[in-house]
Structure 1
Amino acid sequence: MKIYKNKIELKDEIEKTYKKYISEFYNIPNEIKDKKNPAIDRSPAENLAYQIGWTTLLLKWENDYKLGVEVKTPSDKFKWNELGKLYQWFTNEYAHLPLDELINTLNKNIEDIYVMIDSMTEDELFKPHQRKWADEATKSAIWEVYKFIHINTVAPFSTFRTKIRKWKKLEM
Structure 2
Amino acid sequence: MREYNNKAELISEIQIRYQKYIAEFENVPEELKNKRIEEVDKTPAENLSYQLGWVSLLLYWEEKEAAGLEVHTPAEGYKWNNLGGLYQSFYETYGQLTITEQIQLLNDKISELCTWIETLREEELFEPEQRKWATTKAKWPVYKWIHINTVAPFTNFRTKIRKWKKIEL
TM-score (norm 2): 0.98
Q: Distance in 1 between matches of 2:65 and 2:115?
A: 15
Per-residue deviation at 1:77? 2.5
Query: 1:154 corresponds to which letter in structure 2?
Result: V
Counterpart residue number, 1:10: 10
Q: How does 1:16-95 map to 2 (within 5 A)?
A: 16-95=16-95
Distance 2:124 2:6 in 1: 11
Task: Tell me the equivalent position of 1:141.
Answer: 138
SS at 1:97's partner residue?
Answer: coil
Query: 1:119-164 deviations in whole A, cap 9, x for unaligned?
Result: 11000000111011100xx3x3110000000000000000000000
1:60 Cα deviation from its structure 2 partner: 0.3
Partner Cα distance (1:69, 1:142) in 2: 21
Aligned to 1:166: 163
Q: Note the alpha carbon deviations across 1:103-134, whole angstroms, 9 max, x for none.
A: 01111110010111011100000011101110
Q: Distance in 1 between matches of 2:47 and 2:131?
A: 29
Question: Partners of 1:59 and 1:132 in 2: how far apart?
Answer: 14
Give 3-state SS (helix, strand or coil) of 2:4's partner.
coil
Paired-residue identity, %: 54
Which deviations, in whole Å up to 9, do the C-alpha atoms of 1:38-58 show, x marking residues without a partner? 110000000000000000000
Q: Specify the SS of the correspondent of 1:41.
A: coil
Alignment of 1:87-126 (within 5 A): 87-126=87-126
1:82 Cα deviation after fit: 2.2
Bigger fraction of residues in helix: 1
Question: 3-state DSSP class of the match of 1:132?
Answer: coil
RMSD: 0.7
Output one character per residue of 1:54-89: Cα deviation in whole Å (capped at 9) or x when no partner: 000000001111111111100013111220111111
